[in-house]
A and B are shown apart, each in its own frame.
Chain A
Amino acid sequence: MENPKIKIENLNLHFGNQHILKDVNLEIPKNKITVILGPSGCGKTTLLRTLNRLSELNTEAKIKGTIRIDGSDILNTNEDVTVIRKKMGLLAQRPYPLPMSIYNNVAYGLKISGRQKKKYLDKRIEHYLRQVNLWDEVKDRLKDPASALSIGQQQRLCLARGLAVDPQIILADEPTSALDPISSQMIEEKFVELSSNYTLVLVTHILRQARHIADHVVFMYLGEIVEQGSAKDFFENPQQERTKAYLQGQFY
């Protein structure tokens, strides 16, 4: 692969005695949607959380290996971890809006980066809320608490909030698992749109979703990468027996 956005080499992760990620080597293409597939417990969420260094919050975690973003290692570096995390937006399994107004949820990232001018904030917030198709639904109640929104709206708000930090990469951990079908579809369509400017890494166990939006697929099983490749090759012509079995629904 030429110029991968993220390059993971020999990544091993232990929680205490458990070996969660086993010698992971992976390249994630720039401005594409990469879907990480696999049955539950295979380490796909841990892998995602290692990318923005949330895994290390676990007291027991021991991480070895390198993760390079645009060539520079983010694991073994003196760079401030908050700067690294700002390069990546995270969309969690369920929305976690901040305990403040809709407006301030999106403004939060801008404010902690030192942007304070109201005129500038107003403009950017409208921009990001429009980007996730939420503007028309909330423009008259920007001062309302974020908790007043529906779950689907909250998840889109969280996406807007993440975009406002101006990341290069969007990490999504089963972002539609708590949503209704229509909201899920909205998020999926948004991802396809965003992939022209952002590198997306999506963890999911929904095969249909993967088939629908993936450009590149990674299949994990028991902490190992079993197979990876372009979506077309992966779904039409899987090489590994375990991949075939998974795609045929023999295990989840």
Chain B
Amino acid sequence: MKKFAKYEEWFFKGLMYLSTLSIGLVLFVILFSVLYTGLPYLSWEMISSIPEGGYYYGKSGGILNAIIGSLYLSLGSTALAFIVGMPLAMFMNIHLVRNTKFVSGIRFILDLLWGVPSIVYGAFAFTIMIYFGLKTSLLAGIVTVSLFILPIVVRAIDEVLMTVPRGLFESALSLGSTKSEIAYRIMFKQCFPGIITAILLSFGRGIGDAASILFTTGYTDYIPTSLGEQTATLPLAIFFQLSSPIPEVRGRAYAASIILILIILIISLLSRYFTKRYEKNKINF
């Protein structure tokens, strides 16, 4: 045994404890500060009503418009990104199995897109909207956000599909399956929990992003009734209220943050629940 092996072990163990502790601490501080500032302002009225006249000067009303708007926006864009992204991920891992160079090219491009800041997507969509003379709308926001979360969906599903052992793929092939049958009858089932995680990850990014929707969805005090209307969103509601000089309004910004966190919490608990129910068929290789 090496002379310092014991101390080396202690050192790295300590390092791991330290990093675990600091991550936990950061999370705790964020949650604590948001709850401490926001909780006094959180009320049923805030969740259940839309802004009334003078709301942004501290008068009564709520941000139901932003809650509903954010849900519409993120559910719509997650669905859209999934519909486009899932087949791409399957295509890369199953149909292009012989074409490894092409696949690594696609992965490289997706990784680049993942790294592009969301404001760039917003600016890009904004340019196109101006070119076609389109106004800000829920639909424009959904498309922009889905563009921005698409690389996340595809790469996250891709990573899960890559964990499927080659033997399972080959067993399915030797049963005479076509590649599409493998994709949707076998890979989808085997990777279902991971796919849910991928969707959740992109949903979280979508609902929390302010930059990409700043120019594309606009803001309104009303709940949208069609895809063509402007829409309020929680990140922008937080942004606008936080820049107010009135303490009451700033406090509501924190309360809105609590609501945003709660939505993400509820969605992840729900998806955990549904994943558990379907996980039983997964084979642990």
- Listed in ascending order, the chain A residues whose CB lies under 8 Å from chain B are 52, 54, 56-59, 82-83, 85-86, 88-90, 92-94, 96-101, 108-109, 112-113, 145-147, 158, 161-162, 165, 171
Contact = CB atoms under 8 A, between A and B. Distances in A.
Contacts of A145: 280-283
B98 A99 contact: no
Contact of A57 (B98, B171, B181, B185): B98
27 contacts: A52-B174, A56-B98, A57-B170, A58-B98, A59-B98, A82-B177, A83-B176, A85-B176, A89-B175, A92-B167, A98-B189, A99-B189, A99-B281, A99-B283, A100-B189, A109-B176, A112-B176, A112-B178, A112-B185, A145-B281, A145-B282, A146-B281, A146-B283, A147-B280, A147-B283, A162-B174, A165-B176
A90 B171 contact: yes
A83 B175 CA distance: 10
A97 to B, nearest CB: 6
Interface string B180-192: 0100011001100
B44 to A, nearest CB: 44
B100 A59 contact: yes
A56 B281 CA distance: 30
Contacts of B177: 82, 112
Contacts of A101: 281
Contacts of B165: 96
Leading 7 A-B pairs by shortest Cβ distance: A86-B176, A90-B174, A99-B190, A96-B171, A99-B189, A96-B168, A96-B167
B178 A82 contact: yes
Nearest to B192: A99
Interface residues of B, number: 27
B187 to A, nearest CB: 9
Interface string B251-285: 00000000000000000000000000000111111
B64 to A, nearest CB: 42
Contacts, number: 86
A109 B170 contact: no
Contact of B173 (A54, A83, A108, A147): A54
A98 B182 CA distance: 10
Contact of A90 (B100, B170, B178, B280): B170
B275 to A, nearest CB: 14
Contacts of A52: 174
A2 B234 CA distance: 78
B99 interface: yes
A203 B178 CA distance: 26
Nearest to A108: B175
Given A99-B190, A100-B189, A109-B175, 20 more contacts: A54-B173, A56-B98, A57-B173, A59-B99, A85-B175, A85-B176, A86-B176, A90-B174, A92-B167, A92-B171, A94-B167, A98-B168, A98-B172, A99-B186, A99-B189, A99-B282, A99-B283, A112-B177, A145-B282, A146-B283
B174 A112 contact: no
Interface in B78-119: 97-100
Contacts of A147: 280-284
